[in-house]
Amino acid sequence: MSRTWLHRWQLKTAAGVTRICGRLFSANGDRYDLVVIGGGSGGLACAKEAAGLGAQVAVLDYVVPSVQGSSWGLGGTCVNVGCIPKKLMHHAALLGEGIRDSRSYGWKVEEERPELVWSQLLSTVQGHIKSLNWGHRVQLKDKNVTYLNAKGKLLDRHTISALNMKGEVTEVKASNIVLATGTRPKIPDIPGAAEHCITSDDLFMLRKPPGKTLVVGASYVGLECAGFLTGLGFDTSLLIRSIPLRGFDQDMARLIVRNMERHGTVVHHNSIPVKVERLDDGRLDVVWQHTNQNEGGLERGVFQDVFDTVLVATGRGPDSKALGLDAVSVETDVESGKVIVDERDETTVPHIFCIGDAADGRPELTPVAIKAGKLLSRRLFGNSTHNMDYNNIPTTVFTPMEYGCVGLSTEKAINQFGSENIETYHAFYHPLELTIPPERENQLEDHYIKTVCVREGNDDRVVGIHFLGPNAGEVIQGFAVAMRAPGGLPMSQITSTIGIHPTNAEEVVKLYITKSSGRDPVVTGC
């Protein structure tokens, strides 16, 4: 069993405040082999892998409460305020819709519309999160990783100050430092936003049901939250400033938004929030502006409505300043504020690394942070030379109609290979299970699949697969393996594969209509 020890002393600061200070020593003496700042997806994976390879490791994790005062335990964004609570709420919404669908399948469901008990959903979600927080602590202990619930700041290239909640500072020395500090929501600079709006850092622990909600922002977070809130039965509106899901295939993005509108979300396109005011009854009066001033509204494209909750999902950014990066000359990108890294995840300072969302140019996804953390530890302590491959990373947007994809969007493929070299195989299909309930009829025609290919000799090479439909993440995961085949994935490999009937995934291997043929891509029957 590894042991650490702490030498403590008191310090009077310039302001006359007495601070308890200390120096934490690793079991083998002065320095840790590795100190990880940030106990989220990437940091924990990196720390545990390094410890498993015999390194002396410490992890610092500290959550600065959100503007609205929300805070949480060990595990970072994914576990506490990201993937996990989001997926559980998305699933809760799908279940509610499933209960309604079940009538068509012979179930006797009395209520016209089953009612959600928010407090019960919340306690289920939060209960699960607490178990994950606890699990992470146990795993660190089992692997002899020192855990400090403290905010880390670089003092020099091998020294970190760790400030805990009581204001006590401990110095920790490390041969290698990994920054895995993630990002936090950005709040738009408009009157009332900081005071009255919530972010995804607050949504999953709201004591009161959100009620009538306005969601601002149309990327992953905005669309997913607006989707499950609608599905849970809340009157939900969405403000889209420009295009939805910037960077994603826009054919798919447009269909997602159309489906959300059919599903019940009120969508305001080309709209920017202007101000948020709290009324005497506690509700929020929101004014927004249409980018086309001829659009009507109160006056020249100005609109107004009253909501119980306003959720801003307008992007995320790192808190690089708090990390003391300047003091040690770790460079950050001027625009994103994120840490600049090379292909080995090393920053501009040797022995200081950065992984996950805090690193510039990396996809902000949990499995990416985890894999990068593990590979880094193997390179540092396991004689590996294996770098992270950031190509063909699959992802899913958990909107009511899910969207999974891997590889390039049509826009990126055209940009990279030229439109004359691109062929697309596509199909609109009807998921069997949704053809039965009459309530689903208006949503059926949004289900779409396409493969984006580069023309190569007699075959086409697949560079992107896009799937809109039930369980999109489960479908795309397998195709993502195929996309990594040496030499790439020929379209003939997909079309020569036998489908599993009756599934929605089989519609991918059944694709045969090309966009260039101009044929109607609607497919029905077997």
Active-site positions read 501
Nearby residues of 79 by Cβ (< 8 Å), 6 or more positions away: 40, 41, 129, 132, 133, 136
Restricting to residues 181-210, which ones interact with ligand FAD according to CB under 6 A? 181-182, 200
Tokens of 395: 């992802």
Whether residue 490 is preceded by a cis peptide bond, meaning omega within 30 degrees of 0, is: no
Task: Report the relative pairing of strands 266-268 and 395-397 from DSSP bridges.
Answer: unpaired
Task: State which residue, 209 or 227, has the beta carbon closest to ligand NDP.
Answer: 227
User: Which of the ranges 262-270, 347-355, 391-399, 463-471 carries the binding residues for ligand NDP, by CB under 6 A?
Assistant: 391-399
Q: How far is the CB of 271 from ligand FAD (least distance, A)?
A: 22
Task: State which residue, 216 or 463, has the beta carbon closest to ligand NDP.
Answer: 216
Residue 323 and residue 359 in contact, taking contact as beta carbons nearer than 8 Å: no
Nearby residues of 507 by Cβ (< 8 Å), 6 or more positions away: 427, 429, 449, 469, 499, 523
Q: Where are the strands (E) in 469-511, listed by range?
A: 489-490
Residue 490, number of CB atoms within 10 A of its CB: 18
User: Which of the ranges 60-68, 235-243, 330-338, 343-351 carries the binding residues for ligand NDP, by CB under 6 A?
Assistant: 235-243
Restricting to residues 286-345, which ones interact with ligand FAD according to CB under 6 A? 322-323
Q: Which residue is nearest to ligand FAD (CB)?
A: 40
Q: Taking CB within 5 to 8 Å according to partner kind, which of ligand FAD, ligand NDP, none is near residue 293?
A: none
Q: Taking CB within 5 to 8 Å according to partner kind, which of ligand NDP, ligand FAD, none is near residue 241?
A: ligand NDP
- 217 touches ligand NDP (CB under 6 A): yes
Nearby residues of 54 by Cβ (< 8 Å), 6 or more positions away: 381
The whole-angstrom distance between residue 114's C-alpha and the CA centroid of its chain comes to 29
- What Rg value do the Cα atoms of the chain yield, rounded? 25
Cα separation, 275 vs 466, in Å, equals 37
Residue with tokens 């497919």: 523
Binding mask 15-44 for ligand FAD (x = CB under 6 A): ----------------------xxxxxxx-
- 364 touches ligand NDP (CB under 6 A): yes
Q: Taking CB within 5 to 8 Å according to partner kind, which of ligand NDP, ligand FAD, none is near residue 202?
A: none
The whole-angstrom distance between residue 216's C-alpha and the CA centroid of its chain comes to 16
- 192 touches ligand NDP (CB under 6 A): no
- 44 touches ligand NDP (CB under 6 A): no
Query: For 400, which DSSP code?
Result: S
Residue with tokens 């085949």: 485
User: Helix 118-142 to helix 41-52 angle, to the nearest 10 degrees?
Assistant: 30
Amino acid, res. 425: Y
Q: Taking CB within 5 to 8 Å according to partner kind, which of ligand NDP, ligand FAD, none is near residue 147?
A: none
Q: Max CA-CA distance within the chain?
A: 79
- Name the 3-class secondary structure at 514: strand
- 217 touches ligand FAD (CB under 6 A): no
Residue with tokens 């980018």: 291
- 398 touches ligand NDP (CB under 6 A): yes
Q: How far is the CB of 473 from ligand FAD (least distance, A)?
A: 8
- 372 touches ligand NDP (CB under 6 A): no
Among 22, 356, 404, 521, binds ligand FAD (CB under 6 A): 356
Query: Which of 464, 371, 364 has the alpha carbon at shortest distance from 409?
Result: 464
User: Which of the ranges 50-58, 229-237, 322-330, 357-365 carries the binding residues for ligand NDP, by CB under 6 A?
Assistant: 357-365
- Name the 3-class secondary structure at 112: coil
Nearby residues of 32 by Cβ (< 8 Å), 6 or more positions away: 26, 56, 57, 58, 146, 172, 173, 174, 175
Among 236, 259, 314, 409, binds ligand NDP (CB under 6 A): 314
Q: Taking CB within 5 to 8 Å according to partner kind, which of ligand FAD, ligand NDP, none is near residue 216?
A: ligand NDP
Q: How far is the CB of 309 from ligand NDP (least distance, A)?
A: 16
Restricting to residues 133-152, which ones interact with ligand FAD according to CB under 6 A? 151-152
Among 367, 382, 437, 488, binds ligand FAD (CB under 6 A): 367
Q: Taking CB within 5 to 8 Å according to partner kind, which of ligand NDP, ligand FAD, none is near residue 63?
A: ligand FAD
Give me the residues that bind ligand FAD (CB under 6 A), please. Answer: 37-43, 60-63, 76-78, 82-83, 86, 151-152, 180-182, 200, 221, 322-323, 356-358, 364-367, 369
Give me the residues that bind ligand NDP (CB under 6 A), please. Answer: 188, 216-222, 224, 241-243, 246, 272-273, 313-316, 363-365, 395-398
